[in-house]
Amino acid sequence: MIRMTLAEVTHAIGGTLHVHGIDTPETVVSGVVDTDSREMGPGSVFVAKPGDVTDGHLFVDTAVHAGATLAIVERMVDAPVSQIIVDDAVVALGALAREVVARVRAAGGLKVVGITGSNGKTTTKNLLARILQEEGPTVAPRASFNNEVGAPVTMLRVTDDTRFLVSELGASRPGRIAELAGLITPDIGAVLMVGLAHAGGFGGVEATQKAKTELVQALRPGGTAVLNSDDARVAAMAVAAEERGASVRWFGRGSAADVRAEDVEVTASGTTATIHVDGRSLPLHLRVLGEHHVMNALAAITVAQLLGVDPADAISRIGTVEIAERWRMQPLGSDRVRIINDAYNASPDSMAAALRTVAQITASDQRKVAVLGAMSELGEQAGEEHDRIGLQAVRLRYERIVVIGTAARRLFLAAISEGSWDGEAVFFETADEAYDYLTTELRDGDRVLVKSSNSAGLRFLGDRLGEFFS
C-alpha cells in the first residue's frame, strides 16, 4: 500500500481511531493490507473480518506479532496495536482500496483494467499480467481473488510506482460487480462471455448478462469496453458503453472482431492460431491447453494493444505461459498416463470445452477418460445441464466416464442411458473410492480429464492421480 497516516486511513474508511503506545494520528503505515494474519509483515494493516467459520478479531494478536502496526476492527480488541473501529470491516476494506487507487491515479501514470465473464477471467488476467509486466510494475490478483475481499486486497497492493492494475471481478449476486468496479472506475473493461456459471444464484442467464454489464457501466467516461463479438449477450453491451461515453474494441473469431483468430488447431503441446489485427496476420502458439483459451488470449491481446503494447510482443509473451493457473487445464502425471486437472471450477460451458479439448489431444490408439463431479450454482437448470454433459461425454466417445458424488449422479445416469456398452460409466460416492478404482483401471496411453466445481474437491483427486502416475 502507499504511505498513509493513521488519520488519513481513518478518514478514508469513516472509522474511529484509537492509537496505541507511541503512535499518533500522524504515524505512517505502508505495508500489506489483508484479512489473513499469515500475510502480515512489518508495517502491515490487518483487517479483522468476521466470517462464517471463524472471526478475524481472534487473530489480531497473531497479526501484531507478525508485524502489523494497525488493525481495522468492528470492536475493540485487547491487543498492543492501534485500531480503527468501523461498522463493517469488509466495507472499510473497499473504501481504503478506493482511496489508494484514486491517489495513485491522480499522481498520473496508473492504468486500470477490469475483467469479468462467466468463464475465463483468471486465465485472461494471468495472460494480460504476463504481457504488462514487461511494460512496467503491474498488480494483478493471485489465484481467483475476485470477490468483495480478494478484489480490494489486490487493489491495495498498488504503490506509487504501479503502472498497471488488473482487477478480476466476480459476481456472487446482482450489484456486486458494480460495487467492485466502482472502487476503481476502470479505464478498460473486458467482458469475456455470458454463460450459465452461477446462473442459479442470479435467476437465469439474462440476469447474469445484466450483472456482467455492470462493468461496462462503471467505466470511466472516455474509457474502452473490450467485448466478445461472438457472444450476442456480450455484444449487446455496446449500448451500455455508448451510454457511458466509452468506445468499444471487439475480439472474437468472427469477421466483426477487431482482433480476430483463424485457423485454430489444438494439439497435446498447446493451441495454435493466426491472429489478425490492424491488417497484420500474426502466429499464436499457446502452451495453455484448450481451444477455448484462444478467446482469453484475444481479450488479453486486445487490452494490451489499448495500453500501447504491440500485438506481436503481446503474442510472444503469452506464448511463454505454461498453465493458466493451478488446477486449470494443468497437465500432470507423465507421457504414460497424462492427467489434465481442470477441477478448480466448472460450468456447463467450461465442462464442455474441457471435454472437447481432451478428446482433441487424444490419439486414436489412446483412451479418453473423464473423471467428473458436480457443477454448482446452476439452480433449476442443474439437472438438465448435468444430463447434457453426460450425453456429450458419451458422444465424444470417452472410453471411461467416472462420476463422483451424489450431486453429480444425474450426469452418470445420463451417460449410462446414452452409452452403448456396460461399464462405460461408473459412479462413486467419494473421491477416495474413485482413486482406488482409477489407480488400477488406468493404463498406458490414457488421457484423463478431472473436472468439477471447486466445491466437489476433485482438484485434490487430480493432484493425487498426477503424483501416482508421475
Kindly report the average pLDDT of the chain as a whole number. 94
Choose among 448, 405, 407, 400: nearest CA to 426. Answer: 400
Assigned domain for 456 exists? yes
Q: How far apart are the C-alpha atoms of 63 and 69, rounded to whole Å?
A: 9
Residues 154 and 255 in one domain: yes
pLDDT for the residue 421: 62
The reply to whether 324 falls in a domain is no
- pLDDT, one tens digit per residue, over 335-378 is 999 999 999 888 898 999 999 999 999 999 999 999 999 998 88
Q: List own/partner pairs for 334-339 with CB under 8 A and 24 or more apart.
A: 334/469, 334/470, 336/444, 336/445, 336/469, 337/442, 337/443, 337/444, 337/445, 337/446, 337/448, 337/469, 338/268, 338/446, 338/447, 338/448, 339/448, 339/450, 339/462, 339/465, 339/466, 339/469
CA dihedral 313, 319, 323, 324 (to 10 degrees): 40
Identify the pLDDT of residue 99.
Answer: 98
Within a domain: residue 217? yes
Instruction: Tell which of 87, 120, 140 closes a domain.
Output: 87
Binding-site residues for ATP sit at: 117-123
Give which of 363, 373, 366 is closest to 405, Cα–Cα.
373
Whether residues 346 and 447 share a domain: the answer is yes
Same domain, residue pair 153 and 282: yes
C-alpha cell of residue 386: 448435468
286, exposed or middle or buried, with CB in 10 Å at 0-12, 13-18, 19+?
A: buried
- Amino acid 382 reads A
| pLDDT at residue number 24 | 97
pLDDT category at 245 given cuts 50, 70, 90 is: very high
How is residue 444 written as a grid cell?
498406458
pTM for this predicted structure: 0.89
| Torsion, CA 375, CA 377, CA 378, CA 380, rounded to 10 | 130
Distance between start and end Cα atoms, the chain: 42
What pLDDT does residue 327 have?
86
Q: Among residues 389, 435, 392, which one has the least CA distance to residue 408?
A: 389
Contact 13, 72 (CB under 8 A): yes
Instruction: Summarize pLDDT for 36-68 with one digit per residue, the tens.
Output: 999 999 999 999 999 878 899 999 999 999 999
CA gap 334, 220 in Å, rounded: 48
pLDDT in tens, 268-279: 889 999 999 999
| Claim to verify: residue 375 and residue 289 sit in the same structural domain | no
Whichever domain contains 133, its CATH number is 3.40.1190.10
Mean pLDDT within 142-165: 93
| Residue where one domain finishes, among candidates 294, 318, 342 | 318
Model pLDDT, residue 379 = 82
Q: What is the pLDDT of residues 409-460, one digit of tens each?
A: 999 999 998 875 677 899 999 999 999 999 999 999 999 999 999 889 899 9
Known binding-site residues equal 117-123
Residue 163: is its pLDDT beyond 80?
yes
Angle at 100 between CA 98 and CA 102, to 5 degrees: 65
- Please give the angle made by the CA atoms of 63, 65 and 71, to the nearest 5 degrees: 40
User: Is residue 82 included in any domain, yes or no?
Assistant: yes
Same domain, 158 and 41: no
The reported pLDDT for the residue numbered 199 is 56
Residue 245 shares a structural domain with residue 305: yes
Q: Which domain holds residue 294?
A: 109-318
HSE value, Cβ hemisphere, 13 Å, CA-based, for 106: 6
Given 35, 56, 87, the domain boundary residue is 87
CATH, residue 425: 3.90.190.20
Could you tell me if 127 and 287 are in contact, meaning their C-beta atoms sit under 8 angstroms apart?
Answer: no
Q: Does residue 341 share a domain with residue 314?
A: no
Residue type, 252: G
Residues 237 and 131 occupy one common structural domain: yes
Sequence-ordered alpha helix ranges (H) in 107-174 = 121-132, 150-155
CA distance 246 to 67: 44
By C-alpha distance, which of 1, 5, 42, 11 is closest to 27?
Answer: 5
C-alpha cell at 312: 506481436
The reply to whether 312 and 173 lie within a common domain is yes
Q: How many structural domains compose the chain? A: 3
